[in-house]
Structure 1
Amino acid sequence: MTTSTTSESSAAAPLLDLHVLVVAVRRRRRLWGSLALIGLLLGAALAILLPPRPTAVVKLLVAHQADQPSDPGTLIRTDVELLRTTRIASQALKSLGSPVKPEDFMKEYEGAGLTNNVLQISATGDSDAEAVARAGALADAFLADHLSRIQETANAEAKALLDQRDRMRDELAQVNKAIADGSSDSGSKGSADSESLFARRAELTSRIADFDQRAAEARIGTPHLIAGTQIVDAPRAVRHSLAKTAAVNSVIGLVLGLALGLAVAAVGSVVADRPVLRRDIAANLGASIVAELPRRQARWWGRRRNRAARARLTTSLARTLRGSAEPMSLLELGCARSASEIALGLGRALTAEGPMVVVDGLPGPELGDHRPEPGDPVVVSSERAAAGAHQERRLGVGSVAPGTAWTDLRHLGTRTVLVVRAGHGSAAWLHTVARQLSEQRIAVIGVVLIDPDARDRTDGTLWDGTGTAPRGRNEPPARQNGAGRWRTERVPMWAARVPDDDQEVR
C-alpha cells in the first residue's frame, strides 16, 4: 500500500484544532480577565454615578365591553398605546399645571399590561413626590378618557337603536292609517289586504318593543363597566436599593466583559496562528524541545523546581559546548532576558575550566547593561569578538526576531540552541527561522521552550526526522522497522515539498 506525503499531511491537519484554541485562549487569561474586571467596575460605577430617577407606579383595573376569557391581550395592549397619546398626556399636564410639552412628558412615563385587565403606569420625576403626582394624574386622565369612551359608545349604540325604533314607529303609524282607510272596503280582495296589514302591524309592534329593550340594556351595561374600571393600587414611590442595583449591574458587566474578552482572545488566536503546544513548535522549527523554563519568577513553592530545571539545562548545554568542535550560540525569539540568563549561567559554569567569552549579538541591552560579578564570563560585543583572539571558549547570543540580519548569525556560532517563547511567533515566522538557519548552514541542536503551557501534554520530540534540513530536500527513503512495516522519515513542515506525480513512498 502506497501513500503520498502531501495527502497524509493535508488529511492530518484539521481546519480548527479545538485543543490549540482552548490552550491559546487560556494563555490569554490576562486579556479576558482584565475585560471582565473592567466590566465589573463599570457596572458598579454606573449604578453609583448614574442612579435611577425617582419612579412611582400605579395599577388600574380596566373593564372592556368586549372582554373575553380567550382574549390574548389585544385590548390591554390597545390601552397601553392609548396611554401614550398626546391627549392623555395633555390632560395629565393640565391637572398638574405643568408647562412641559406633551411630547416631552410622554418620554417620562410608560404603561405595561400585567394581565388582560390590569394596567400598570410608571412615571418618573425629579423627586418622589413629583413622580407620585404624575402617576396619579396619568391614572385619573386615563380613567376619565376610558370612561368617557365607554359612555360615548353606549350612548351611540342606544341612539342608533332608538333611531331605528322611531323609524319603525313611523312605519307603524302608516300601517295603522292604511288599516283605518281600508276598513270600509268590502270584498275578498279588501279582506286579504287587511290581513297582511294586521300582520305587518303585529311585526312592527314586536320589533319596536325589542329595540326599546335593547336600548335600555345598552344604557344598563354602562354602569357595570364604569364600576369595574378603577384604581386598585394607589400611586406609590418605588424604592431603589443602591447595593442591589450595583450588584446586578456588576454581574451584568462582568458577564459581558468576560464574553467580549473570550471572543477577542479566540478570534485573535485563530487569526494570529501562533503555536503554543510543544508538538506544533517542534514541527514548525524542525527541532525537538530539549528543555522548558518558566518566563517569570515562580512562587515560593515552585522556586526549587525551577532552579533544578535551570541547573539541568546548564549542565546539558555545558556538556554539549565542551564536546563541540564548532562555535555554539543561543538564538532567542521573544525571550531575550531568559536567553541572557541562560548564557550567563552557562558562562559561570565554564569559567572555572578556562577563559569564557559571551558574544553579545542581541539588539537590546540585556547583556550590555549586565554588571559583572566574580565568576561571571566576559561579555563582549560581536565587533570586538571578531577583532579579538579565538583561543578562549565562546558562546554567542543573538536573536531571530523579525528584522534579524541572517548572514550575521553564522559568526555567532554554526551550531545553535533556539530559545523560544511559546505563543510569541506565528507559524509562518517559525518556518522562516528554520529555513533561514538551514540556508546559513547553522545546525539547530534543540529548542528551549520558555513559558510553556502548564497543561500541555503533547510530545515535543521529533522521533523520526533530522534536526535540520535544507530547503527543497526530498523525503529520506523509507526504512523497514523491526516489525516488518514500512515507515517514512519525518522532515520539518517547512522543508516538505509536493512530490512529482510518479513519486510515491511505500
Structure 2
Amino acid sequence: MTTSTSSEPSAAAPLIDLQALVVAVRRRRRLWCSMALLGLFVGAALAVLLPPRPTAVTKVLVAHQQDQPSDPGTLIRTDAALLQTTRIADKALRALKSSESPEDFMADYQGIGLTNNVLQITARGDSDVEASARAKALADVFVADHVARLKAAANAEADALLGQGDRLQNELAQVNEAIGQGPSANASATLESLYARRAALTSQIADFKQRAEEARIGTPQLIAGTQIVDDPTAVRHSLPKAVATDAVIGCVLGLVLGLALAAIGTVVADRPVLRREIAVNLGASVIAELRPAPRRSAMPWRRRRTRDARERLTRTLARAVRGSAEPVSLLELGCARSAAAIALDLARALAEEEPLVIIDGLPGRQFAGRRQEPGDPVVVSGERAAAAPQPEHRLGVGSVAPGTAWTDLQYLGTRTVLVVRAGHGSAAWLHTVARQLADLRIAVIGVVLIDPDPRDRTDGTLWDGLHTALRGQNERLARQNGPGRQGTERLPMWAARVPDSDQEVR
C-alpha cells in the first residue's frame, strides 16, 4: 500500500478514520479508566453517605367488575394512577394525623401493579415504624375508596335499572286502565294487543328488577375480594449489597462517559497517532520508533527490550550522522526528555571516534540533572554556542513545539531528525513544522516515533514522494542529477506551491 504526500483530501476518503479513532481512544485509556474508577468511588460513597430512606411495602388484592382474562393490565395501572392522587394522599394524611401537604406526601410513595389484581404499595418515612404506618394508611384508604367506587357504581346501575322499571310500570298501569274500560269498536283486536302489551311489559319489569338485584348482589363479592393480602413490612437494606450495586453502576456510567469524552476529544483535537498519518503530515518517513522507558517496577524482560530498542536506534542514527557532511540536529515534539536521552546515547556512540559537542536548545533543563560519566560529551547552551566558535563536530538538540523560535533552528543543524511523540501534535501543527523546516532549508532525515501504538500495523514509509518534506531539497536533487536534468521524485503538494528562492529573486 502506498501513501500519498498530498495534503488535499481524497474525495472518497471517509470523514472519520475508524482505525485512527479506535487507536486514539485506546491510547487515552488513562482518561476513561480514571473516569470509571471515579464513578466506582462516587457510587460507593453515595451508597454509604446517602443511604435509602426506611421503606415499607404492602400488597393489596383488587377485584374489578370488568375483570377479563385477556386484560393487559390496564385496570391495575388505573388503580396505581388513582393511588397517586391528592384525594388518596389527603385521606391518608388525615388518617395519620399529619400536617404534611398531599403534594409532598405523594413523592414518598408509589404503587406498582404486580399482576392484573395485585397492587404493591411502597411508602417511605423517617423510620421503619413511620414507613409501615404510611403504607398501612395508604392501603386502607385505597381499599375504602375502591369499595366506595364499587358501591357507587352498583347503586347507580341499580337505580338506572329500577328507574327504567318504574317507567315501564307506569306504562303497564295505562295498559291495565285501557283493558278495564271495557269493549269498544274492534274490541277483539284491541283487547288482544293490550293483553300482549301487558304481558311484554310485565316480563320487562321483572327483568329490570332481577338485573338490579344482581347488580347489588355482585357488589359484595367485589368488596370482599378487595383486601390487604400482605401486611406492611419494612424493607431491609444491605449496605454491602447497596455499595456493590452503586459502585458497579457508577463504574459503568463513568466508563461510558470516559469513552465518549475520549472519542469526542480525539475527533476535535485531530492528533495523528498512526505511523501512516504522522509520516504523511510531516512529509518524512518514520525510520525508527521507541517506546517510553518502563518504570522501575517493570519486568526485567521489558527493561531489556527497551534497552535493546535504544541501542538499535542509536546505531541507526549514528550511521545517518556519519554519512552526513552537514551538521545534524534532533528536534523534538512532545518528548524533550526522550530527545535528550537519545542525544546523549548518540553522542556517546560517536565520541568513541571523535569528540562531540551537544548544543542544548531544549526548553527547560533536560541535561542539568544527568549523572556525569567519563567520556560524556560536553553540553553547551544555545547562547554560549552562538557566541563561541562553532566546533567541527556538534549535535544540536532543539524543539519544534508551539512557541519555537524557528530562525534559531538552523544554527543547530542543517539536517535534522524529528523526535515526535505519537498523538501529541495536531495535524495542522505537523504541517506547520514541515513548512517551517522547508523554508529554513533544514532537511529532515526521518522521524523517530516515541510511544507508538503497539497494535499499529500501518506503514510509515513514504513511497511516492521525497524522503524529506523540503522545498530546499530541490537544489540538492538538481546538484546530484547534474545540469539540465530533473529529478523524478515528486514534491508534496504544499511544497510545490512555494516558489524557489531563485525564482523569487528573479
Q: TM-score, normalised by structure 1?
A: 0.88
Report the CA distance between 1:351 and its aligned residue.
Answer: 3.5
**Matched letter for residue 179 of structure 1:** I
Report the CA distance between 1:173 and its aligned residue.
Answer: 2.6
**Equivalent residue number for residue 64 of structure 2:** 64
Q: Distance in 2 between matches of 1:227 and 1:142?
A: 14
**Equivalent residue number for residue 208 of structure 2:** 211
Tell me, yes or no, if the aligned pair for 2:71 and 2:116 is still in contact at 8 Å: yes
Report the CA distance between 1:254 and its aligned residue.
Answer: 1.4
Report the CA distance between 1:465 and its aligned residue.
Answer: 2.9
**Matched letter for residue 446 of structure 1:** G
Tell me, yes or no, if the aligned pair for 1:284 and 1:494 is still in contact at 8 Å: no
Q: Any idea what SS the aligned residue of 2:107 has?
A: helix
Q: Distance in 2 between matches of 1:14 and 1:494?
A: 22
Q: 1:492 to 1:449 in 2, by over 3 A?
A: farther
Q: 1:13 to 1:368 in 2, by over 3 A?
A: farther
Q: Distance in 2 between matches of 1:462 and 1:163?
A: 99
Q: Distance in 1 between matches of 2:473 and 2:497?
A: 8
Is 2:445 the counterpart of 1:445? yes
Q: Distance in 2 between matches of 1:465 and 1:372?
A: 43
**Matched letter for residue 114 of structure 2:** L
Q: TM-score, normalised by structure 2?
A: 0.88
Q: Kindly provide the CA deviation profile for residues 100-146 of structure 1, in whole angstroms up to 9, marking residues without a partner as x.
A: 22221111111111122111111111111111111111111111111
**Equivalent residue number for residue 251 of structure 1:** 248
Is 2:276 the counterpart of 1:276? no
Q: Distance in 1 between matches of 2:277 and 2:312?
A: 24
Q: 1:323 to 1:234 in 2, by over 3 A?
A: same
Tell me, yes or no, if the aligned pair for 2:441 and 2:471 is still in contact at 8 Å: no
Q: Map residues 3-14 of structure 1 onto 2, 5 A cutoff.
A: 10=10, 13-14=13-14
Q: 1:53 to 1:143 in 2, by over 3 A?
A: same
Is 2:359 the counterpart of 1:359? yes
User: Which of the residues 290, 308, 328 maps onto 1:293?
Assistant: 290
**Equivalent residue number for residue 481 of structure 1:** none
**Equivalent residue number for residue 123 of structure 1:** 123
Q: Map residues 130-279 of structure 1 onto 2, 5 A cutoff.
A: 130-180=130-180, 182-183=181-182, 185=183, 188-279=185-276
Q: Any idea what SS the aligned residue of 2:10 has?
A: helix
**Matched letter for residue 363 of structure 2:** P
Matched positions, count = 480
Tell me, yes or no, if the aligned pair for 2:333 and 2:401 is still in contact at 8 Å: yes
Q: Distance in 2 between matches of 1:72 and 1:134?
A: 29
Report the CA distance between 1:221 and its aligned residue.
Answer: 0.9
**Matched letter for residue 45 of structure 1:** A
**Matched letter for residue 438 of structure 2:** S
Report the CA distance between 1:466 and its aligned residue.
Answer: 2.3
Q: 1:172 to 1:163 in 2, by over 3 A?
A: same
Q: 1:494 to 1:256 in 2, by over 3 A?
A: farther
Single out whichever of 328-337 and 293-302 deviates more from structure 2: 293-302
Structure 1 unmatched runs, 5+: 478-487, 499-506
**Equivalent residue number for residue 94 of structure 1:** 94
Report the CA distance between 1:370 and its aligned residue.
Answer: 4.5
**Matched letter for residue 255 of structure 1:** V
Report the CA distance between 1:283 and its aligned residue.
Answer: 2.1
Report the CA distance between 1:492 and its aligned residue.
Answer: 4.1
Report the CA distance between 1:350 and its aligned residue.
Answer: 3.3
**Matched letter for residue 132 of structure 2:** V
**Equivalent residue number for residue 329 of structure 1:** 329
Is 2:24 the counterpart of 1:27? no
Q: Kindly provide the CA deviation profile for residues 383-439 of structure 1, in whole angstroms up to 9, marking residues without a partner as x.
A: 211222334421111111111121111111111111111111112211111121111
Q: 1:159 to 1:307 in 2, by over 3 A?
A: same
Tell me, yes or no, if the aligned pair for 2:143 and 2:227 is still in contact at 8 Å: yes
Q: Kindly provide the CA deviation profile for residues 445-488 of structure 1, in whole angstroms up to 9, marking residues without a partner as x.
A: 121111111111222223443222544999xx9xxxxxxxxxx8
**Equivalent residue number for residue 481 of structure 2:** none
Q: 1:11 to 1:89 in 2, by over 3 A?
A: closer
Q: Any idea what SS the aligned residue of 2:58 has?
A: strand
Q: 1:12 to 1:395 in 2, by over 3 A?
A: farther
Tell me, yes or no, if the aligned pair for 1:284 and 1:492 is still in contact at 8 Å: no
Report the CA distance between 1:53 and its aligned residue.
Answer: 0.9
Q: Kindly provide the CA deviation profile for residues 345-378 of structure 1, in whole angstroms up to 9, marking residues without a partner as x.
A: 2223333444321111122221355564432221
Q: 1:438 to 1:8 in 2, by over 3 A?
A: closer
Q: Kindly provide the CA deviation profile for residues 53-97 of structure 1, in whole angstroms up to 9, marking residues without a partner as x.
A: 111111111111111222222211211111112222122222222
Tell me, yes or no, if the aligned pair for 1:278 and 1:458 is still in contact at 8 Å: yes
**Equivalent residue number for residue 396 of structure 1:** 396
Report the CA distance between 1:324 and its aligned residue.
Answer: 3.1
Q: Distance in 2 between matches of 1:381 and 1:427?
A: 31
